[in-house]
Structure 1
Amino acid sequence: MSRVQFQATPARSTSLRIPARSALALAVVLALPAAHAAEAPDAAAAEVNELNRVVVSATRTERQVQDVPATVNAIDRERMDNEMVRNVRDLFRYEPGIDVGANRDRFGLGDIRIRGLGGNRVRVLVDGVSVSDSFLIGSFSNAGRNFVDLDTVKEVEVVRGPSSALHGSDALGGVVSFVTKDPGDYLKDGAKTYFGLKLGVESQNEGLYGGATAAFGGERWSGLVVVNHHQGQETENKGTRDSLDGSRTKPNPQNSDGRSLLTKLVYAPSENQRFRLTVEGSEDQTDTEVFTARGTALSMPGAPAVRVLSQNGDDHQTRARVSFAHEIDSLDSVLADSLRWQVYRQDSETTQRTREERVNVSNNPSPTLRLREFNFDQRVYGAEATAHKDFATGSVEHTLTYGFEYEHTDFRQKRDGRAINLTTGAVSNTISPDTFPVRDFPVSQTRNAGVFVQDEIRFADGKFRLVPAVRVDRYELRVKPDAIFTTDNPGVKVSDLSKTSVSPKLGAVWHFAEDWSLYGGYQRGFRAPPYNDVNLGFTNLQFGYTAIPNPNLKPETSDGYELGLRFSGKAVYAQLSGYYNDYKDFIESSRQVSAPPQTPLIVFQSQNVAKARIRGVELRGGVDFGELSPSLAGWSTRFAAAYSKGEDKTADRPLESIAPLTATVGVAYDRDVWGVELAGRFAKRKSDLPAPNRFAAPGYGVLDLLAHWNFAPGAKFNVGVFNLGDKKYWDNGDIPGTLAATSTVLDRYSAPGRNVGASVAVSW
């Protein structure tokens, strides 16, 4: 039994080839009168000192990074624009310790990994609502989590390390919180209306994107509409072999397009409260000609060898959300000073279709057309509330934060297909080892309910902060096996599941001297047993194997410890932290637990087996040279580095998901209306692989050049040239786990060469 997964991401030529219609559109935008334009909504003064940024995710209260007992990153809209961010990989391009892998053959960007932990072990939120889970099985089914159009986002916060005390299940590795744009971000200085246009191009995938934003406001009501569209082809790499089979190293041809909509309506009955209705949606479509799948294919034991003549992928994903929120900044109550609550519904769906022609390699070729369809649907209903109360006990000040979260989620997954004999016209719903349709887990429902409380205790005029917190979560899984599942899994008994978890944390920040502080603490993380692992099901009598449920799965847990030192001065800021995370009861899917003669069939089952340890050191900082000398006004630098080491303590081998030592350095010069930055990205060779014959990503160093120009009031031009030296290199997260060091297709997984991105935005 084998459930194989291909890995991939786009790729293309380094030339900036803009279609005629794109060039015309760009010329039109550049010609738009900008003289009457209002200030850009994101034109806040650049903040060199990142420790002064205000974040919410780490403590659910608005606090500067230097007052938070955790390692937190915040990326605002201005930085996203200046760095030409188009997707989550671009978003974390200069953030060592945060990685985004990719499937280079077809499916594109994968999960976000924080300190080596990714997949559904990182909680990804949009305005407090969880993004759909990832799910993959086999070579033709890969539902990812790349559902967020970053052009609708104004800020991203990342909490590194276990965060379950405030964010519950799935925050085992950390939290990525996207905050979408709001009418108030555009209606500045009493403005009643705002309109903006943005258009951009990128050479690495011959991409074109554009968007329009409109906002209005009055004494009580305000609203926002953001519409975006993007299109492109495969992302380039450094491969040169243009063959039409598995020996190909150039990227598979792709065409992609997508669109998104964000609307908000805000009613403010007073200065201290707001009601907010949000409706947002996105849709993405990618068509791939999978040349790399052509050629002799693996077949089942005893079956004739086959040759794949063609394979095409049609991948479509959608996400839609509606939420209603209420915020009260000043509440005259003994229980709370402020309150925020929201209710929401979100639907996410991934549909992937594969069309494949193949022929037997024998005297009787028997050409066959295989049509497969994979569908993964997730629907979430939820509610949450958070309250804050400030009070004092003597000379000690407290900020009490407490609240609850509730989510009800429906999961459906199905694989379907048929094989058509192109000689006889015979149609069969059997494509070994499956007889379609099949479900790999039964229709399922989960209910997650959590309550949390946190107290920020401030001593010595705020110089010392102690932050204890605890959360209790109740997780329930209910399954509804239908005819599709029971037919595919005769005699398999599925199980419901209920678990309760308690997640404590204790953090502290000590400002022991002017500009200096220590921070750190302990935090427990957990992840509830996933629906698909509890009741994973597939049976194939022909090949003698079956998978059975495991109602005894335990939650995955972690114990995380962190200690850090910060310096935050006018000219220089720096942060050095070390962490140690111990993980227990990792769930291994489809583990073989028995075989004949012990049992009639080979039996697979998801089990708690792995114990893992990840530890590391992270450094980040910057210098504003203008604060050191007036003659250096405008000059600044920023730097960051991350080193991690991880071991699978059960198997006594290194963890493959750990990235090598990585670092970034940027030197910038900014004036009132323009700025430029030379940024470097560096990585050490990946050395700690579990198998000696595996391909290890070599070390590399590449330079990028970024520039922006506010060429008129409310008009801004951004440009970036990436990989200036046109260097061939590999990102560790793009390399499949089965790629041998002697493989002849290594260049297929290489990163893009020199490429250019540019955008222009105007607003009124």
Structure 2
Amino acid sequence: MNHKQLSLIASSVLLALSPSLHAQEKKAYTDEIVVTATRTEQSIKDVPGSVSKITAEDMEKNLANDLQDALKYEPGVQVNGNGRFGISDFTVRGVSGNRVKVMVDNVEQPAGYNPGADQMRKFSNGIEIDTLTAIEVSKGPGSSLYGSDAMGGTVLLRTKNPEDVLKAGENNHLAVKTGYASDSEQYKATVEAANRSGAVESLLIYTYRDGKETETHGDGADIEGLDRGQADPLTFASHNLLGKVYVQVNDANRVGFVAEYFNRDTDTQILSRENYDAGGGFMPGYVYTNVKAHDEDDRIRLGLNHEWQADNTAFDTLNWALNWQQSESKHDNYDHTGANGNRNRYRAGEDSSTQFDAQFNKIIALATTRHELTYGLNAVKNEFELDYKNYSLDTGDVTPGPVEVPNAESVKYGLFLQDQLYLMQEQLVVTAGIRYDNYQAEPASSSGLDKHESDAVTGRLGAVYHWNESFNTYAQISQGFRSPSIGEMYEDKDNSMFGYKIVSNPDLKPEKSIAYEIGARSQGRIGAMNVAAFYNDYKDFIVSSTEEVNSIEVTTNANLDAAKIYGVELGAEVWLDEALSAPYGTYAKLSLAYQEGEDKKTGDSLDSVAPFTSVVGLGYDAPSGDWGSEINAMYVASKTGDDWTDENVDAPSYTVVDLTTYYTPTENLVLRAGLFNAFDKKYWRYQDVDGLTASTSGLDRRTQPGRNWGVNLDYAF
């Protein structure tokens, strides 16, 4: 048997090869390349921190239909949200929401907006994963490279370029993909085309999806009202169109244009709110019936970018990009009450941004050292608007709705510098970086609220030491920050007649973090392993506080909280054919993630910290490359009692088993199938029961799907 050398994956925990490599002849050692860790293409072996990378092949292998599917096996990473409003945000090592920066092709996505009412949500969830070539998650603060919001982690979604689908020597590419997922009765169809003609390369990807609500476990009660145990009936349809054109103007210059449009329409019957008595039995005119909703989410972006191989004294390369993006969420909320009749509470939110980014790279080679300098700047101008209206469907009257925050504009810019220094014949790699950020926000003048301005300086220092070709250790200290959001600063309501008021606070300071991480990576003939330990400190967390003033409850946001989160992550992969003389192409993998978190002011646990999680996998890829299969068992420990800040319903432990397989009858055709939750386990994800008590109605409505299956077919012409 020929010995295979392993390719080290960018995941800090789970190191795995794509199945096709098992069936090939002996390969030279190559490193997985990541971008988020240094803003440049970099071998993971020289990165002093944890980065997870999910490739398009990984997503296809697991029949992923959304980001939750794509990242479900990644330790230390959770994707949150479900139901009517879909995916809401990411949790990275216990930090979630707007404290994790999300970017699509380096275009930052707007902060999520959730005022708490059931009628309005706005999240950055208009992502079609069939357009992605990779998802990278940099764990821990990354503000020295990416600025505000990267205080807990950075998620970079990289869409495909023409060179990602055009094989060597090919000038044309045409492929179709289709699939079905039983848990949501979802059908998809994707057409992918690319062309290379002289100096011009182009790419066009269109994806259509339609389906229904993601089902809960099958034993929930199919009834109306708060005790409903099944998901509310829902239908959706989405369209995504991505186009790119690149022109190689000359040997030194390449210009690119990108356009992307996403649209999703959703109709929901909110049976869980049917006959809800808002008056508690004392106000019969406020019993809700005929509760339903129509939602529309849109995202459009247009971009121009330029790559210049300058090779001058100041820089070797310059990459700059100018992007415009607009995202909008529109919600029609229909219901009937005796007091209000038939009505529609229309709630809409829109973010529009213009973003400029310029990055310079310079390599300075000295006698015994090498510097890889990266420096640059970026600026973002964002406009945030809310549009609320109340429609009486019986009379035709239209009245303004009560918006939570005024329309506002914000501007932020940053300057950064990073030096990656190679010493001792590249046995030691030291990475140091620093960044300055300035943030300004100004609400509409009619609001009478004050302008906000704040700034931050963040740094990073890390080192990797290569003991030999197959083993290295690393350590890193890094800082992060998050500027306060428009909603946090400017929510302002006077409802004194109802006994409460909310007071704005434009003087909020940025939240801050500092993280320490050490780790080791090894790879050899029989496998690969990665272990990391981290300790993260957070301060000036923005939280709301309430006090009674003249019998009125007054709530405002302030920088009150501090927290710490620490943990260990481990990943390993073993080629069983080499280690145990198993059939050629057999492999096993393991990942473990353990976290603890504490509010430093109160000593309470943090609700966002995940319980202990492990994934054990066993797979086989036939030497011919024609077929293969994999089984994964994911165990998640319980989160109960003192694991929660307040009294919270238990999130029991669970083990879920998934099976996937693929078959390639011809070179251009791939058939994939998966059986998920094979043993029909009833379980709740901890983040879906956060804030609920044992007396909360409809707990079964928060369960994940029971046994379900999916099939995909990919054909390249």
Which category describes the TM-score, using the shorter chain as reference length?
over 0.9
Q: Percent identity?
A: 30
Match of 1:400 in 2: 373
Give the SS at the match of 1:551: coil
Q: Where does the alignment leave 5 or more consecutive residues of structure 2 unmatched?
A: 1-17
**Match for 2:407 among 443, 452, 458?**
443
Distance 1:410 1:367 in 2: 34
Q: In 2, are the aligned partners of 1:668 and 1:678 still within 8 Å (CA)? A: yes
Match of 2:565 in 1: 614
Q: In 2, are the aligned partners of 1:122 and 1:176 still within 8 Å (CA)? A: yes
Deviation digits for residues 30-60 of structure 1, max 9, x if unmatched?
xxxxxxxxxxxx9974799999311011011
Match of 1:573 in 2: 528
Q: In 1, are the aligned partners of 2:604 and 2:645 still within 8 Å (CA)? A: no
Deviation digits for residues 12-34 of structure 1, max 9, x if unmatched?
xxxxxxxxxxxxxxxxxxxxxxx
Distance 2:87 2:186 in 1: 16
Give the SS at the match of 1:752: coil
* Range moving further from structure 2, 641-650 or 228-237: 641-650
**How many angstroms does 1:428 deviate by?**
7.8
Q: Is 1:371 equivalent to 2:344 in the alignment?
A: yes
Match of 1:30 in 2: none
Give the SS at the match of 2:704: coil
Q: In 1, are the aligned partners of 2:95 and 2:152 still within 8 Å (CA)? A: yes
Q: Cα 1:622–1:49, aligned 2, differ >3 Å: closer, same or farther?
A: farther
Deviation digits for residues 205-230 of structure 1, max 9, x if unmatched?
11100010111111201111111000
Q: Cα 1:392–1:222, aligned 2, differ >3 Å: closer, same or farther?
A: closer
Distance 1:676 1:499 in 2: 53
Distance 2:172 2:66 in 1: 29
Which amino acid in structure 1 is aligned with residue 103 of structure 2? Answer: L
Which amino acid in structure 2 is aligned with residue 145 of structure 1? Answer: S
Distance 2:281 2:367 in 1: 77
Match of 2:664 in 1: 710
* Range moving further from structure 2, 117-126 or 505-514: 505-514
Give the SS at the match of 2:425: helix
**Match for 2:612 among 640, 654, 661?**
661
Distance 1:629 1:545 in 2: 68
**Match for 1:186 among 165, 172, 178?**
165
Match of 2:595 in 1: 644
Q: Cα 1:95–1:426, aligned 2, differ >3 Å: closer, same or farther?
A: closer
**Match for 1:260 among 219, 224, 240?**
240
* Range moving further from structure 2, 563-572 or 552-561: 563-572
Match of 1:316 in 2: 296
Aligned-pair Cα RMSD in Å: 2.2
Match of 1:88 in 2: 67
Q: Cα 1:374–1:145, aligned 2, differ >3 Å: closer, same or farther?
A: same
**Match for 1:62 among 21, 26, 41?**
41
Deviation digits for residues 118-142 of structure 1, max 9, x if unmatched?
1111111111001222101112111
Match of 2:109 in 1: 131
Match of 1:111 in 2: 89
Give the SS at the match of 2:145: helix
Q: Cα 1:367–1:325, aligned 2, differ >3 Å: closer, same or farther?
A: closer
Match of 1:9 in 2: none
Match of 2:8 in 1: none
Deviation digits for residues 582-620 of structure 1, max 9, x if unmatched?
11111114x3245216xxx43222111111111111111
Q: In 2, are the aligned partners of 1:172 and 1:526 still within 8 Å (CA)? A: yes
Match of 1:542 in 2: 497
Which amino acid in structure 1 is aligned with residue 346 of structure 2? Answer: E
Match of 1:756 in 2: 709
Mapping for residues 96-245 of structure 1, pairs under 5 Å: 96-104=75-83, 106-137=84-115, 138-238=117-217, 239-245=219-225
Give the alignment's TM-score, normalised by structure 2. Answer: 0.93
Mapping for residues 530-609 of structure 1, pairs under 5 Å: 530-589=485-544, 591-596=545-550, 601-609=552-560
Deviation digits for residues 297-332 of structure 1, max 9, x if unmatched?
33499855732222101111000001111123x422
Match of 2:4 in 1: none
Q: Is 1:248 equivalent to 2:202 in the alignment?
A: no
Q: Is 1:510 equivalent to 2:488 in the alignment?
A: no
Mapping for residues 448-487 of structure 1, pairs under 5 Å: 448-482=412-446, 486=447
Report runs of 4+ in structure 1 exceeding 6 Å deviation. 46-51
Which amino acid in structure 2 is aligned with residue 701 of structure 1? Answer: T
Q: Cα 1:313–1:446, aligned 2, differ >3 Å: closer, same or farther?
A: same
Give the SS at the match of 1:66: helix
**Match for 1:525 among 480, 483, 505?**
480
Q: In 1, are the aligned partners of 2:54 and 2:71 still within 8 Å (CA)? A: no
Residues matched between the structures, number: 692
**How many angstroms does 1:626 deviate by?**
3.6
Match of 2:688 in 1: 734
Q: Cα 1:236–1:426, aligned 2, differ >3 Å: closer, same or farther?
A: closer
Q: Cα 1:130–1:428, aligned 2, differ >3 Å: closer, same or farther?
A: closer
Q: In 1, are the aligned partners of 2:606 and 2:645 still within 8 Å (CA)? A: no
Q: In 2, are the aligned partners of 1:442 and 1:481 still within 8 Å (CA)? A: no
Match of 1:363 in 2: none
* Range moving further from structure 2, 410-419 or 124-133: 410-419
Which amino acid in structure 1 is aligned with residue 49 of structure 2? Answer: A
Q: In 1, are the aligned partners of 2:47 and 2:464 still within 8 Å (CA)? A: yes
Deviation digits for residues 71-90 of structure 1, max 9, x if unmatched?
00111111110111111110
Q: Cα 1:51–1:244, aligned 2, differ >3 Å: closer, same or farther?
A: farther
**Match for 1:623 among 540, 556, 574?**
574
Which amino acid in structure 2 is aligned with residue 130 of structure 1? Answer: E
Q: In 1, are the aligned partners of 2:86 and 2:125 still within 8 Å (CA)? A: no
Q: Cα 1:559–1:693, aligned 2, differ >3 Å: closer, same or farther?
A: closer
Q: Cα 1:43–1:389, aligned 2, differ >3 Å: closer, same or farther?
A: farther
Distance 2:124 2:73 in 1: 21
Q: Cα 1:646–1:691, aligned 2, differ >3 Å: closer, same or farther?
A: closer
**How many angstroms does 1:558 deviate by?**
0.4
Q: Cα 1:215–1:514, aligned 2, differ >3 Å: closer, same or farther?
A: closer
Which amino acid in structure 2 is aligned with residue 761 of structure 1? Answer: D
Distance 2:688 2:259 in 1: 34
Give the SS at the match of 2:380: strand
Distance 1:256 1:643 in 2: 37
Deviation digits for residues 526-584 of structure 1, max 9, x if unmatched?
00121222211122242143322213211000011111111122321111111111111
Distance 1:457 1:383 in 2: 28
Deviation digits for residues 632-686 of structure 1, max 9, x if unmatched?
3201122211111111222331111111001111111012121100111110011
Give the SS at the match of 1:610: strand
Q: Where does the alignment leave 5 or more consecutive residues of structure 1 unmatched?
A: 1-41, 360-365, 430-435, 487-492
Give the alignment's TM-score, normalised by structure 1. Answer: 0.87
**How many angstroms does 1:103 deviate by?**
4.0
Q: In 2, are the aligned partners of 1:51 and 1:573 still within 8 Å (CA)? A: no
